[in-house]
A and B are shown apart, each in its own frame.
Chain A
Amino acid sequence: MIAALICVLSVAAFIQLLAAYCRSILASSRRVELSDRVREVAGFADRKIGAADFARLLQLVRLCPEGSDDQGEIRAVGAYYRALSLMNRLTSSLVPPVAAWATREREHCSYFAAVALDRRISYSRDLFTQHLGKA
């Protein structure tokens, strides 16, 4: 009985703390303003970044050369996004507030991917400029 109670409480704490940890990673990108260039490249010039854009943004991120060591963060946020998508599917008809929360979180994940893309595009441009300077 005690073991069952400890198990339930630990799993609940684990989920809550893991979500907070992922949000702390996302928090660093939330205050970053996206450049017009990345909005244009990703097709967000005239609309808000949506929850479903994450996969496409991630594909674009992977096309760019790695500048800073952000691969671990991207992987962690990717796992968080997949967990949220699963939660969204499971709760959309049963608990709509939770599904709405999961959608908002997925939007933050998409924004994080857009910031990563912006960073990588800047890095690629710097590389290109350096290459032209040497040539």
Chain B
Amino acid sequence: MKLGVVNLLIWIVGLILQASVVFCVILRREFPKYYSICLYMPCSLLADLGLYFSAERLGVDSQLYFYYYYYSDTLLSILLYFVIIHFYEHVFIEMNVNRYIRGAATFLLISTAIFSYLVVHQHQDSLTPRFAVELEQNLNFVGVVLIYLLWGAVLKLRETRMRLVQLILAMGIYFSGITAVYAVRNLFPAVEDSILRWAPPLIGLWLPAAWTYAFIRTSDDQRLLTSELESKATA
């Protein structure tokens, strides 16, 4: 079975949005500042191209396509960790703690890789879709925790750079949205073939779209007050 019309449409829109993020970063001469985004987006684009060709050649219901989909997605999740760590460096730039952030990031990455390797090694004879969904859910949840801690730091340190705040928030929305979807799929495997099947690729469009918006609509010197972002429900 090959890609359907909806899948193809999502794929094309995704490619355009990913390319537009890189284009905007280069056009605004922000490459040195946001190199991690420029590293992640082309990798994501290449992975999507590979996904398309493997779907065309092997079919979306083949075992190889399944492996390619989940392994490339796992690798992209790890690359996204690098982007998060880069955002941490931006937020903590004035505290001169980049060395510690990199150390913590390396430790986290190695631990995640070892943990994932051990889990995959244990299940190598039974690498079912259920297991892949669970692994994705766990990897993305680490992303949610990292972004949420960063969000706390943004509020605590009164970060005022609007573009940076929007880039971080967009990433948090992406990670929490996709983790929730994988968790629901994991909880209710019966509903996997419903709308939830389309949810991960659709949520995948959000990140490049929001990042493109942040680079087009906000400038690097635009400021905001963090008090404007806090949602406090008081009578």
Q: Are A and B bound to each other?
A: yes
Q: Are A20 and B233 in contact (CB under 8 A)?
A: no
The count of residues in chain A whose C-beta lies closer than 8 Å to any C-beta of chain B is: 30
Q: Roughly how many angstroms separate A105 CA and B210 CA in the complex, as a whole number? A: 22
Query: How many B residues, CB 8 Å from partner?
Result: 37
B23 interfacial by beta-carbon distance below 8 Å: no
Query: Quick one: CB contact mask for B163-192 with A, threshold 8 Å, 1 for yes?
Result: 001100110110011011001101100000
Which of B134, B151, B230, B232 lies in contact with A17, CB distance below 8 A? B151
Query: B217 to A6, Cβ gap below 8 A?
Result: no
Interface SS of B by simple majority? helix
Residues B229 and A20 in contact, CB atoms below 8 Å apart: yes
Closest-CB distance, B219 to chain A (whole angstroms): 11
- Residues 208-235 of chain B, each 1 if its beta carbon lies under 8 Å from chain A, else 0: 0010010001000010110011111111
A interface residues with partner B (beta carbon < 8 Å): 3-4, 6-7, 9-11, 13-14, 16-21, 23-24, 26-28, 30, 72-73, 95-98, 100-101, 105
Chain B residues within CB distance 8 Å of chain A: 134, 137-138, 141, 144, 147-148, 151, 162, 165-166, 169-170, 172-173, 176-177, 179-180, 183-184, 186-187, 210, 213, 217, 222, 224-225, 228-235
